[in-house]
C-alpha cells in the first residue's frame, strides 16, 4: 500500500513553507474541495465551505478555478493524476508479465480500499454523465501510458507463452477495475444480502486474492 500513499505524501511535502504562497493556496483549495465534493457530491458541495476549509475565501477560489464546475474538474484531474502516479511506481515494465499483472491487479483493488473518496467522486461524476471529464484533455493523456503498460505486459506474456493472445488492454483494465469497484460500491447491500461482513479485513483480502485469480486465470494461455 506504500505506492498508494506516495502521491498524497508528495503533495504534503510540496506544500511546505518553501513553496510559493499562491501554489500552496491552490493546493489547499484542491484538498478542501476533494473532501467537500466527495462527502456531498457536486450538487451538495458549497463553495463557501470549501473556502472556509481551505483557510481562504471565495474570491481566491474563483481566481484560481473560475467557477465551481472548473474546480470539480480540477479535483477529478488531481484524483486521476494521483492514481496514475502511484501506478507508475509499480515499475511494471521491469517485472515478468505474470508478476507485473498480479501487482497491477492487487494495486487497483487496494487503491479502492485506501481511497474511498476517489470512488465517491467517480460515482458522482457518472451521475452527471461525465460532463466535467468530457472537457478535460488531461484525463485522456493520463490514461494513454497506462494502456501502453498493460499492452506491453500482454505482449510479453504472449511471447513467453504465459498469456493468451488477442486481449484488448482497455477491456482488460475495465475488468480489473470493475471487479474491485463493484465490491466496494455495493459493499453494504452485499453484506446484508449474503449475511457476511464484507468490510472485514479477512473478507477484503479474500476478495483481492479472488480478483487476482480471476484475471490471471482468464489470461492463462
Distance CA 59, CA 22 (A): 13
Nearest of 26, 50, 48, 51 to residue 36 by alpha carbon: 50
71 neighbors 135 (Cβ within 8 angstroms): no
Give the residue, 142 or 72, on which the prediction is more confident. Answer: 72
Distance CA 98, CA 156 (A): 9
**Mean pLDDT across the chain:** 89
Residue 130 confidence (pLDDT) above 50: yes
The count of other CB atoms within 10 Å of the CB of residue 141 is 10
Distance CA 221, CA 165 (A): 8
Q: What digits encode the pLDDT tens for the residues 75-123?
A: 999 999 999 889 888 989 999 999 999 999 999 999 989 899 999 999 9
Return the half-sphere exposure (C-beta side, CA atoms, 13 A cut-off) of residue 152: 14
Return the half-sphere exposure (C-beta side, CA atoms, 13 A cut-off) of residue 119: 19
Nearest of 176, 51, 181, 171 to residue 121 by alpha carbon: 181
What is the pLDDT averaged over residues 214-218? 97
Identify the pLDDT of residue 18: 40
Domains of the chain by start residue, with CATH: 2-219 (1.10.357.10)
215 neighbors 176 (Cβ within 8 angstroms): yes
Q: What digits encode the pLDDT tens for the residues 151-170?
A: 999 999 999 999 999 999 99
What is the pLDDT averaged over residues 7-21? 48
Reported pTM: 0.82
Amino acid at each position: 500500500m506504500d505506492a498508494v500513499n506516495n502521491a498524497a505524501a508528495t503533495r504534503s511535502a510540496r506544500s511546505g513553507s518553501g513553496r510559493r504562497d499562491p501554489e500552496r493556496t491552490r493546493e489547499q483549495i484542491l484538498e478542501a474541495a476533494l473532501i467537500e465534493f466527495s462527502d456531498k457530491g457536486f450538487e451538495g458541495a458549497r463553495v463557501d465551505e470549501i473556502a472556509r476549509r481551505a483557510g481562504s475565501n471565495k474570491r481566491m477560489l474563483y481566481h484560481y478555478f473560475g467557477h465551481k464546475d472548473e474546480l470539480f474538474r480540477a479535483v477529478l484531474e488531481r484524483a486521476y493524476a494521483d492514481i496514475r502516479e502511484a501506478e507508475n511506481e509499480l515499475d511494471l515494465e521491469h517485472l515478468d508479465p505474470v508478476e507485473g499483472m498480479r501487482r497491477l491487479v492487487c494495486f487497483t483493488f487496494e487503491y479502492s480500499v485506501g481511497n474511498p473518496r476517489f470512488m465517491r467522486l467517480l460515482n458522482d461524476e457518472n451521475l452527471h454523465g461525465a460532463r466535467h471529464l468530457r472537457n478535460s484533455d488531461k484525463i485522456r493523456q493520463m490514461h494513454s501510458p497506462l494502456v501502453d503498460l498493460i499492452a506491453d505486459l500482454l505482449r510479453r506474456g504472449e511471447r513467453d507463452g504465459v498469456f493468451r493472445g488477442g486481449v484488448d488492454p482497455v477491456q482488460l483494465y475495465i475488468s480489473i477495475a470493475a471487479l474491485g469497484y463493484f465490491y466496494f460500491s455495493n459493499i453494504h447491500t452485499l453484506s446484508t444480502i449474503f449475511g457476511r461482513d464484507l468490510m472485514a479485513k479477512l473478507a477484503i483480502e479474500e476478495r483481492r486474492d479472488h480478483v487476482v485469480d480471476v484475471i490471471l486465470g482468464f489470461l492463462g494461455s
